[in-house]
């Protein structure tokens, strides 16, 4: 009685997904066969050198995303610790900083860093400027996620660790942070999706990443719409598995320990 409705719902969703895939595939095939979708603009995508070309942009995109993620974690976690343990003016300052950065549109941040630094006479290439901006923005978001995770760990555990003779750092490193980060992992993975999408904004600074390579590609072949669809699909193939991972991690946790419950809101909505 208890399990049956869930199983039935799951089975129904799968068949619905199969139908959806079939309908989309049928529409595409019908489009090509009837000539509604012209075949010629798609032909370059059957060639290997197209993919080695776009692959170069993809590498830049992945490196930007990866480096920014690592840096954002390296800055965001200490920021979260500082915000949750420091009181008084320094604590307020850190809170204010985090809130201010999170209220900033990422593109505005990127442009101000890129143009501001070049006004100061320092030559910072677009990719590096984008990494700096993405790091600043995402470290604030990750700080907020991790802080909520730290807050969700029962105070009794900290007291127990302290009374066992662990100092503040040991308690954080050995007891609080591992649990807080594990608990918030689904939200961190969702944030990675946002980060991967935001790397595309580096194109506006003039960085040659996936979107930039795509545009160079279609200026040669003239298949503008088709290239944008391919770019979107490439991003989708990176991000959709991440969203499945995030969902699976979330499902593996007790409802009260899920980021949505711990945060009380979804910080990763983008």
CA pair distance 227, 207, nearest whole angstrom = 18
Taking the complex as a whole, how short is the minimal distance between the CB of residue 142 and another protein, in angstroms? 17
Residue 90: CB minimum distance to another protein, A: 22
Contact at 8 Å (CB) between 127 and 60?
A: yes
User: 139: burial class by Cβ within 10 Å (0-12, 13-18, 19+)?
Assistant: buried
Which 171-210 positions form the footprint of another protein (CB under 8 A)? 193, 197-198, 200-201, 203-204
Q: Is 180 exposed, middle or buried (0-12, 13-18, 19+ CB in 10 A)?
A: buried
103 binds another protein (CB under 8 A): yes
Nearer to another protein, 56 or 247 (CB): 247
Assess 251 for contact with another protein (CB under 8 A): no
User: Binding to another protein by residue 121, rule CB under 8 A?
Assistant: no
Least spacing, CB of residue 123 vs another protein, in Å: 16
CA distance linking residue 188 with residue 246, whole number of Å: 8
Kindly write out the interface string for residues 24-43 of this chain, putting x where it contacts another protein by CB under 8 A and - elsewhere: x-------------------
CB of 229 to another protein, least distance (A): 7
Q: Does 232 bind another protein (CB under 8 A)?
A: yes
| Cα–Cα distance list, 101 to 60, 61, 84, 133, 226 (Å) | 25, 23, 17, 10, 36
* Stretch of 16-24, 123-131, 173-181, 251-259 contacting another protein, by CB under 8 A: 16-24
Please pick, from the candidates 115, 164, 182, 251, the single residue that binds another protein as defined by CB under 8 A.
Answer: 115
Q: How far apart are CA 115 and CA 122, in angstroms?
A: 10
Q: Is 74 helix (H, G, I), strand (E, B) or coil?
A: helix
CA distances from 80 to 69, 97, 103, 141, 142 (A): 16, 12, 17, 10, 8
Nearer residue to another protein within complex by CB, 176 or 193:
193
Taking CB under 8 A as the binding criterion, the range among 18-26, 47-55, 79-87, 89-97 that sits at the site for another protein is 18-26
| Alpha carbon distance 85, 81 (integer Å) | 6
Angle at 131 between CA 73 and CA 121, to 5 degrees: 135
Which position among 37, 75, 82, 224 is part of the footprint of another protein (CB under 8 A)? 224
Residues at the site binding another protein, with contacts judged by CB under 8 A? 12-13, 15-17, 19-20, 23-24, 99-100, 103-108, 111-112, 115-116, 119, 193, 197-198, 200-201, 203-204, 211, 224-225, 228-229, 231-233, 235-236, 239-240, 243, 264-267, 269-270
């Amino acid at each position: 009685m208890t399990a049956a409705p869930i199983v039935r719902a799951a089975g129904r969703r799968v068949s619905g997904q199969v139908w959806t895939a079939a309908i989309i595939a049928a529409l595409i095939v019908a489009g090509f066969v009837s000539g509604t979708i012209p075949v010629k603009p798609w032909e370059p995508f059957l060639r290997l050198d197209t993919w080695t070309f776009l692959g170069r942009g993809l590498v830049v995109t992945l490196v930007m995303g990866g480096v920014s993620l690592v840096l954002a974690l390296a800055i965001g976690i200490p920021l979260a610790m500082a915000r949750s343990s420091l009181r008084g003016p320094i604590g307020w300052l850190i809170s204010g900083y985090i809130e201010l950065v999170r209220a900033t549109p990422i593109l505005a941040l990127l442009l101000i860093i890129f143009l501001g630094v070049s006004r100061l006479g320092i030559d910072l290439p677009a990719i590096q400027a984008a990494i700096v901006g993405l790091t600043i923005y995402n470290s604030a978001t990750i700080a907020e996620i991790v802080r909520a995770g730290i807050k969700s760990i029962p105070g009794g555990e900290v007291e127990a660790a302290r009374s066992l003779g662990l100092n503040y750092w040991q308690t954080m490193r050995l007891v609080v942070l591992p649990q807080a980060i594990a608990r918030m992992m689904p939200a961190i993975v969702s944030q990675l999706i946002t980060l991967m999408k935001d790397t595309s904004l580096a194109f506006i600074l003039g960085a040659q990443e996936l979107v930039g390579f795509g545009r160079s590609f279609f200026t040669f072949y003239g298949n503008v719409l088709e290239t944008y669809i391919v770019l979107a699909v490439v991003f989708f193939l990176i991000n959709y598995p991440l969203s499945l991972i995030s969902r699976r991690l979330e499902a593996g946790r007790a409802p009260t320990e899920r980021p949505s419950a711990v945060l009380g809101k979804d910080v990763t909505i983008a």
